[in-house]
Structure 1
Amino acid sequence: MSIVLSMAAFALACSITPGPVNIISLGCGARYGFRAALPHVTGATLGFILLLLLIGLGLHEVLRQWPLLTQLIRIAGVMFLLYLAYRLVSDDGQLSTAPGQKVPSAMGGALMQWLNPKAWLACLAGMGAFVADGDVLMVWVFSLLYLVICWLSLASWAWAGASLRGYLERTAGIRWFNRGMATLLAGSAVYLLLE
């Protein structure tokens, strides 16, 4: 298997599997529709790629020398996941597409990646596995490949959520859906604490 195919397989495995950003993409699609979820999908993808590039270009060395910084990032990420879970649990369950409705932003998606421990682990593991020698060209190849795969993966989660909209038209259905998503986010947070 060529290095590019191996990179693609790694990117797909990390991007498509359930995680906090995927769960939020699913919820955005269910609540606001596919098109409205795309800014979140795009922002989360670009936020991840920026993190991946920085790690590939040397940020991992800073983290290695300052392990406390890694722990602080992990704790901040877990707290953010728990906050998102709380917001989902306390949501009223109203599906609204009114003009004033606050939909997920690109900046929120990008920020979520920077607070997402899964994203940090994927960046560190991916760059460690494929670009450990620091080849700048390979850092860019991996990042561009990951850009396409990550965006398509997150968009597929948003599309799946949008496909559920018809089944979740009742307020009670959205509340149960949100509670399920909140449970998954809280479970992710607990898992990351125990890891």
Structure 2
Amino acid sequence: MNLIISMAVFALVASITPGPVNIVALSSGAQFGFRASQRHVAGATLGFVLLLVLMGLGLHEVLQRWPALTQGVQWAGVAFLLYMAFKLAADKGHLDAKESGRAPSMLYGAVMQWLNPKAWLACVAGMGAFVADGEARLVWQFAAVYLVVCYVSVGCWVYAGTFLRGYLSNAKGMRLFNRSMALLLVVCAGYLIRT
């Protein structure tokens, strides 16, 4: 039981801390509401859990052999973050989802995780801490714990955005909020370029 609690604490700390996926979840909740943003939450969760399982089953060894793949993922992540920042900055700030486009899709959330260096680091660190020997039972156990914790964590960011929606009831306020979120994504991209 102590191992499961430790896994859950690790998953919570890694999942609930700010990062690109959570910034988009916050913005989606503010702009599109809680229900419409659940596709993003589900996609981000499933995308991360798939990455975690593959990492536990040996993907990290492939990346160690070919470091250029890791750099490719990093640069793709930077490009994706800048694209998301542009989309947020260009948004008109309309709260009516029919007028202002659609909430991020399930695929969008999953792709974000695969291009998110924070997710890769969490997978490597988590597997190193809890499943260093690669035992399949522990890989799946950790993935099951992470599935629940990640879904709730990203969902909390969407809920926070939904709560803020009441304070961002006009297009001008929403534009300011979206541009602030875009700036945070650019900062994340800048951090990735420096590392």
Structure 2, unmatched stretches of 5+, are: none
Worse overlay, 155-164 or 3-12: 3-12
Q: CA deviation at 1:100?
A: 8.7
Matched residues, number: 195
State the Cα deviation string for residues 134-174 of structure 1 (Å, max 9, x = none). 11100001000000000000001001101111111111101
TM score, norm. by length of structure 1: 0.96
The residue number in structure 2 matching 1:89 is 89
* TM-aligned CA deviation for residue 178 of structure 1: 0.6
Summarize deviations over 1:13-52 as a string: whole Å, max 9, x none.
0000000000000011000000000011001100000000
Counterpart in 1 of 2:43? 43
1:17 aligned partner? 17
The structural deviation recorded for 1:99 is 8.1
1:19-168 matches, within 5 Å, as 19-98=19-98, 101-168=101-168
Change (3 A) 1:71 1:100: closer
Aligned-partner Cα distance in 2 for 1:91–1:101 = 9
CA contact (8 A) 1:78 1:117 kept: no
Cα-to-partner distance string for 1:90-112 (whole Å, 9 max, x where unaligned): 11111113289422211111111
Report Cα offsets for 1:55-107 as digits up to 9, x if no partner.
00011110010001001101100111011111111111111132894222111
Instruction: Give the Cα–Cα distance (whole angstroms) in 2 for the partners of residues 30 and 96 of structure 1.
Output: 11
Instruction: Go from structure 1 to structure 2 and tell me whether the alpha carbon gap of 1:159 and 1:173 turns closer, same or farther (over 3 Å shift).
Output: same
Mean Cα displacement is larger for which, 150-159 or 120-129? 120-129
Deviations 1:100-130 (A, max 9, x none): 9422211111111111111111111111111
The one-letter code matched in structure 1 to 2:77 is G
Structure 2: how far apart are the matches of 1:87 and 1:99?
Answer: 15
2:187 corresponds to = 187
TM-score (normalised: structure 2): 0.96
> For residue 76 of structure 2, what is the amino acid of its counterpart?
A
Q: Which deviates the most, 124-133 or 148-157?
A: 124-133
The alignment status of 1:174 with 2:174, answered yes or no, reads: yes
- State the secondary structure of the residue aligned to 1:36: coil
Kept in 1, the 8 Å contact 2:81–2:186? The answer is yes
After the TM superposition, which of the residue ranges 96-105 and 110-119 deviates more from structure 2?
Answer: 96-105
Q: Which amino acid aligns with 2:193?
A: L
Between the aligned partners of 2:58 and 2:146, the Cα distance in structure 1 is 18
Q: CA RMSD in A?
A: 1.4
Moved more, 145-154 or 162-171: 162-171
